[in-house]
Structure 1
Amino acid sequence: MDAESRKTLVAIQNMLEQLLSGQPADTIGFKTPMPELQKITEQLNQLSRNLDEMNNLAADLSEGWLDGTLPPRHNYMAGPLKQLHSQLSIFTWSLRQLQAGYVVGKLENTGELFAALNGIIDQAATLSTQETDDAASVNSWRYHQLLQTLDLLHIMILEVDNSGHVVYANRSAKEKLGDIQFITVEQAGNKVLELVAQNKEGNAFPVHREIYEESSNLWYRVTSDRFLFPNGHAFYFNTIEDITEWIVKEHQLKMSAEMDELTGVYNRKVGWEALEQILAHPEQAGTHCIAFIDIDGLKAINDRYGHSEGDYTIKSIASALLSTIRVSDDVCRYGGDEFFIIFKNCTEETAKSIMVRSDEQVKVLNIQAQKPYKLSFSYGIIPVTNFSESAAELLKRADHKMYLDKKRKRLNGNNTNPNNVNSP
């Protein structure tokens, strides 16, 4: 055996003697030419570090200290000690909660130590909740139960007295509003706190209000109630809930109920109701017009190029209509390849010019897209003059005029069937 290997074996023997005697062991810092011995020295060094970390934790626990450094995750030998540390931490926290008068749940850990603590918890609950003839006594257990529950809520809770002094704020309120001590209308700083400060004895409680806070771009629901003590002193209990997500979802739900999913225009139901609303108010001044639109050759596009191209065609025509109408006009999908537009307070001449712009926009789309088929539509415009008509009769007249436009285009040789268009 060479001298280096002998030196390594001696160092290993010394380290093992130190470890077995409970003494801190020095690490082996030199390297040996034998790979097997080098591996053993590295493992012993790691073992020495693991035992040292375990001894430090065990010493802390034996002296009752729980805030020391825990062994790292890769020290698997320290697993039971770390578990004991965790259990004792829970035990200590529970004792401190009991000492402060707060509610504590029974521990699930087994063993004599935890069984004794659970017995104390049961006894404290019994003593705290039993009835008493002393009217001045306070059920601290139930009181702290309520406070702890309020702290777990995500909504903000503020209790304010007549002078505006904040008597209680739960954890959510403190996190979002800061450590507020006093609330007045002049010092509120935001609309939510202004509502809280405006609570007066004359109000009909409870009061439910919704408010938009521009500075934070959030919606809140503020519910306030008033409680009177026997001495006449009033306290105002306010719950402040962030309802932004609910407002957004409500708006999205409303939009999804009104909009055609494929095109983003209004659906048939909304358009139909808008027409009936117009027809129900003949006294409203101004001339309204209706345009009925039909996409040319959609069935042939679907048959030859597939429904994905058909959907592209429908969406493209809808986009062209939306990009050229006025803000006051409504585009509605009647179904399949048909749309209608409600031109409010619009002459037939103006409606015609808008449809011409839509047609020009479609021509631009044809140039840009370079599809093997041509996008186009036919339309008919009628003024709304007979308010005794139903919405169905109105659309039927506009549809008939659209059909005349489609027939005229065919007679003029403007055949938009995609099967007659050369593929690129």
Structure 2
Amino acid sequence: MIAVFYAAMTYRRRFETPLAFPLSLVMGGGAVWALADACALAAPTPGLAIAVNYAVFPGVATVIVGFFLHTSISSGHRPSRPALLLIQPLLLVAVVATDPWHHLFYRHAEFGNLGITGQPGPAYWAHVLYSYAMMMAGTVLVIRAMRRAVRGQRRVYRWFLVGAIAPTAGNLVTVFLHVDMRGLDLAPVLFLVTGVVWWWTERSGVNSEPVPVKYAQVISALSDAVMVLDPHGRFLDVNPAAAKLLAAVNPAGGAVIGRQWLEVAGTHFPAAVADAGQTTIYGASGNVYDFRVVKMAAADGSSTGTVVVARDITELERLRAELTEQAVRDGLTGVYNRRHLTTVLEAQAAVAADGHPLSVVMIDVDHFKAVNDRYGHAVGDQVLVDLARQLAGSVRECDMVARYGGEEFVVILPGVPAHAAAERADLWRRQCAARAVDTPLGTLHVTFSAGVAQLTAGGSPEDLLSLADEALYRAKRAGRDRVLTAEHTLSVTG
């Protein structure tokens, strides 16, 4: 009754997992097997007991079919023609149904206190051999799958084998040892153990995906190029991604297995396998590769080969550079931000310690609040963007334009003295005043004020900015739209 209930519950899940239907066959066949055994023991006449006993064997055949299907699917070898598995059960039914006439299954059978005893015939032994052969074949499939599986899945197959071995051992005891157990047939009872163990391995999650994962499948599925070399640097194996990479860098290379690393890839990645570890290599085509090299060693410490894993990180490096650039840029104007200004100014001040002049120009848009109030913030933003573009397009490659905050900008001019910096700033001022910004309220002309300071003796980058700021505010107090130079000069301390 337990087997019938479990077979019904498992059969209901046949569309959820491919293992449900085979397991329902095992449990259903075990139920028929046990029921036939019980009915034979309870039969009122020996003739009826022997007749009912024949019903055991269709149940056995159903168990074998379910067992082999379950082991095949679990090991990743689903039968291509499962209907062929029905041939033996159908022949068995035909033989046992007609056995009273030909006695090929039982040469002689009689009913005693401990159940049916008799002399097996050739058909009986053919059935036994076929059943054990199928169970052995299924067990071998599971063992082979276990050996190829990744480590975390081997536990599944070990438990699977525990469930398979239990009824096999019980049946061997029943068939060959004839131990006095008062009519108890161990095999159908122990198939309940099989059902519980197999159910647990599936429902607990350790076997939620019954198709085994082989190392070769894992390596082939990787997008990283994996190459295995022998101790002499010859290719032993490459996955599809590695074959594609090697074909890309050496189109005329052809097959690589058995060839030397230097012959196939050495001109493109000359130092990739020299030492274990990780390195970044820039290819001749401009691509960037991340190489990881693992040296394999035997138990005695001798080298058994090298595993090289390569990944094309060109796009990753481009995105990284782009993100790095974005991190130092002002989001609105596109020029550098204040944090990067501080970093660059400190570096330039260190260079100025050797006697090179360093000047900064601090710029503030005149009446910017009034522009925002009258024309709106969108126009105000456009004014800042236009000014930033003008400044960025007017400086040298070694100069730097940064948004200092709000409507303020700072231009770093290494190697330029204060008077030359003031002249350049005044040119930018005139260009800015000549530009027009079209708005819904009419044409807008903006001006800016600027303060210029030079780092010469005794000061720091912070003092340099402070002096430029003071000069800027003097320019604003003097009427705006002008450039003034700081009244003091400074130099780098130390």
Q: Give your verdict on TM over 0.5.
A: yes
Q: 1:115-264 residue pairs with structure 2 within 5 A?
A: 116-120=68-72, 121=74, 123-124=139-140, 126-128=142-144, 139-141=147-149, 145-178=214-247, 179-181=255-257, 182-188=259-265, 191-192=268-269, 194-196=270-272, 198-199=273-274, 203=275, 206-215=276-285, 217-229=286-298, 232-264=302-334
Letter in 1 for 2:305: F
Aligned-residue offset at 1:211: 1.3
Output the CA distance in 2 between the equivalents of 1:108 and 1:394. 77
Q: Deviations over 1:188-212 (max 9, x none)?
A: 27523x334x53xxx4xx3211012
Output the CA distance in 2 between the equivalents of 1:411 and 1:366. 16
Output the CA distance in 1 between the equivalents of 2:338 and 2:348. 15
1:272 aligns with 2:342: yes
- Whether the aligned pair in 2 keeps the contact of 1:158 and 1:170 (CA below 8 Å) is yes
- Whether the aligned pair in 2 keeps the contact of 1:324 and 1:357 (CA below 8 Å) is no
Aligned-residue offset at 1:265: 1.3
Classify 1:109/1:304 alpha carbon distance in 2 versus 1 (closer, same or farther; 3 Å): farther
Aligned-residue offset at 1:186: 4.9
Output the CA distance in 2 between the equivalents of 1:151 and 1:308. 54
Output the CA distance in 2 between the equivalents of 1:290 and 1:360. 18
- Whether the aligned pair in 1 keeps the contact of 2:352 and 2:358 (CA below 8 Å) is no
Letter in 2 for 1:238: V
- Whether the aligned pair in 1 keeps the contact of 2:282 and 2:288 (CA below 8 Å) is yes
Task: Tell me which of 390, 394, 401 is aligned to 1:320.
Answer: 390
Aligned position for 2:10: none
Output the CA distance in 2 between the equivalents of 1:169 and 1:157. 6
Q: Identity of aligned pairs, percent? A: 24
Aligned position for 1:385: 456
- Whether the aligned pair in 1 keeps the contact of 2:337 and 2:402 (CA below 8 Å) is yes
Aligned-residue offset at 1:298: 1.2
Classify 1:411/1:308 alpha carbon distance in 2 versus 1 (closer, same or farther; 3 Å): closer
CA RMSD of aligned residues (A): 3.2
TM-score (norm 2): 0.53
Output the CA distance in 2 between the equivalents of 1:189 and 1:368. 61
Task: Tell me which of 414, 418, 421 is aligned to 1:351.
Answer: 421
Letter in 1 for 2:388: A
Q: Deviations over 1:243-286 (max 9, x none)?
A: 22322222122212211111111111111233333445653221
- Whether the aligned pair in 2 keeps the contact of 1:211 and 1:220 (CA below 8 Å) is yes
- Point out the structure with max Rg over C-alpha: 2
Output the CA distance in 1 between the equivalents of 2:325 and 2:362. 23
Aligned-residue offset at 1:364: 5.0
Task: Tell me which of 430, 450, 471 is aligned to 1:401.
Answer: 471
SS at match of 1:163: coil
Letter in 2 for 1:373: L
Aligned-residue offset at 1:159: 0.5
Letter in 2 for 1:118: H
- Whether the aligned pair in 2 keeps the contact of 1:191 and 1:211 (CA below 8 Å) is no
Output the CA distance in 2 between the equivalents of 1:184 and 1:152. 23
- Whether the aligned pair in 2 keeps the contact of 1:161 and 1:235 (CA below 8 Å) is yes
Output the CA distance in 2 between the equivalents of 1:305 and 1:191. 59
Output the CA distance in 2 between the equivalents of 1:305 and 1:367. 11
Letter in 1 for 2:256: I
Aligned-residue offset at 1:147: 1.3
Classify 1:154/1:124 alpha carbon distance in 2 versus 1 (closer, same or farther; 3 Å): farther
Task: Tell me which of 363, 366, 372 is aligned to 2:443.
Answer: 372
Number of aligned residue pairs: give it: 291
Output the CA distance in 2 between the equivalents of 1:282 and 1:403. 26
Could you tell me which runs of 5 or more consecutive residues in structure 1 were left unpaired when the two chains were aligned: 1-105, 131-138, 413-424
SS at match of 2:293: strand
Q: Deviations over 1:101-132 (max 9, x none)?
A: xxxxx8468576898433223535642377xx
Q: 1:285-364 residue pairs with structure 2 within 5 A?
A: 285-363=355-433
Classify 1:142/1:287 alpha carbon distance in 2 versus 1 (closer, same or farther; 3 Å): closer
- Whether the aligned pair in 1 keeps the contact of 2:448 and 2:480 (CA below 8 Å) is no
Could you tell me which runs of 5 or more consecutive residues in structure 2 were left unpaired when the two chains were aligned: 1-16, 26-64, 76-138, 152-212, 248-254, 483-494
Aligned-residue offset at 1:325: 1.0
Output the CA distance in 2 between the equivalents of 1:343 and 1:292. 11
- Whether the aligned pair in 1 keeps the contact of 2:19 and 2:70 (CA below 8 Å) is no
